[in-house]
């Protein structure tokens, strides 16, 4: 939603799927200086039931232009779940986005050795920290030579994250050029980095 210094209205929907039921505690975490109409609610859901709760958020008068996240956490007997409401203060970069850039276009490694590939993950026009996961993609048949397959990610608006992944081709790997790429997924936003060449030398 877009907000120009006036209260932003939304609806929080909570649903119990299947036989899941029980108490649900909702918590609102807004940016510093922002004022939600409520910060904590507890409700009881029957199996298959749902509830809709209105939520009004008043932005900080000095909020910077761009996208701000209001996080909604739900603590249930089945675990904790999270969603985020994006509130846009006009005047920021359009479109606001998540991005992935390679730190170096290529790496070289010998069979039996190890090397790390690094990327930088940041955001443009998003004024809140993003949390999510960085995934490593590589061609079929090479998955065991690179890892981890995924790792937690936190992208702050003023400091990009720099996840790294290890490439460790076994001694039987044929020399040649391969590739890996990194995908970042944070609060509904997805970004793909460029392919990074992996040159495997003679053993």
The answer to whether 101 touches 114, Cβ cutoff 8 Å, is no
Which residues are 185's β-sheet partners?
Answer: 133, 190
pLDDT profile of the chain (203 residues), mean per 10: 70 83 91 95 90 93 92 91 92 89 96 96 96 94 88 95 96 93 96 97 84
- Residue partners of 142: CB distance under 8 A and separation at least 6: 178
Which class is domain 97-200?
mainly beta
CATH fold match for the domains 8-89 and 97-200: yes
pLDDT for the residue 100? 98
Residue tagged 């190890």 (tokens): 114
Q: What's the CATH architecture for 8-89?
A: Sandwich (2.60)
What tokens does 202 get?
């003679």
**What sign has the CA pseudo-torsion 92, 95, 100, 106?**
negative
pLDDT for the residue 53? 94
The answer to whether 134 touches 183, Cβ cutoff 8 Å, is yes
Delimit the domains of the chain by residue range.
8-89, 97-200
Q: How does strand 35-36 pair with strand 8-15?
A: unpaired
- Residue partners of 11: CB distance under 8 A and separation at least 6: 52, 53, 54, 55
Phi, psi of 143 (to 5 degrees): -60, -35
pLDDT for the residue 103? 96
- pTM reported for the whole predicted model: 0.86
Q: How far apart are CA 172 and CA 78, in angstroms?
A: 45
The answer to whether 112 touches 170, Cβ cutoff 8 Å, is yes
DSSP string, 113-134: --EEEEEEEEEESB-S-EEEEE
pLDDT for the residue 106? 96
pLDDT for the residue 2? 58
What tokens does 105 get?
């276009």
Run of H or E residues at 181: strand 176-186
Strands (E), 32-149: 35-36, 40-45, 50-58, 66-76, 79-89, 97-102, 106-109, 115-124, 130-137, 146-147
């Amino acid at each position: 939603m877009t907000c120009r210094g006036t209260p932003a209205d939304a609806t929080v929907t909570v649903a119990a799927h299947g036989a899941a039921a029980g108490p649900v505690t909702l918590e609102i975490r807004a940016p510093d200086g922002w004022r939600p109409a409520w910060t904590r609610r507890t409700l009881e859901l029957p199996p298959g039931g749902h509830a809709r709760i209105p939520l009004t958020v008043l932005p900080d008068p000095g909020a910077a232009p761009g996208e701000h996240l209001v996080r909604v956490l739900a603590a249930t007997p089945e675990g904790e779940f999270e969603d985020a409401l994006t509130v846009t203060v006009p005047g920021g970069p359009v479109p606001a986005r998540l991005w992935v850039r390679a730190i170096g276009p290529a790496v070289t490694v010998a069979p039996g050795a190890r090397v790390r590939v690094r990327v930088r993950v940041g955001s443009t026009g998003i004024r809140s920290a993003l949390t999510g996961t960085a995934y490593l993609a590589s061609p079929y048949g090479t998955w065991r030579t690179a890892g981890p397959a995924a790792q937690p990610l936190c992208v702050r608006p003023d400091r990009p994250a720099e996840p790294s992944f290890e490439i460790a081709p076994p001694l039987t790997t044929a020399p040649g050029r391969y590739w890996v790429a990194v995908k970042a997924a944070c609060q509904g936003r997805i970004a793909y980095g460029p392919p990074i060449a992996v040159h495997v030398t003679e053993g």
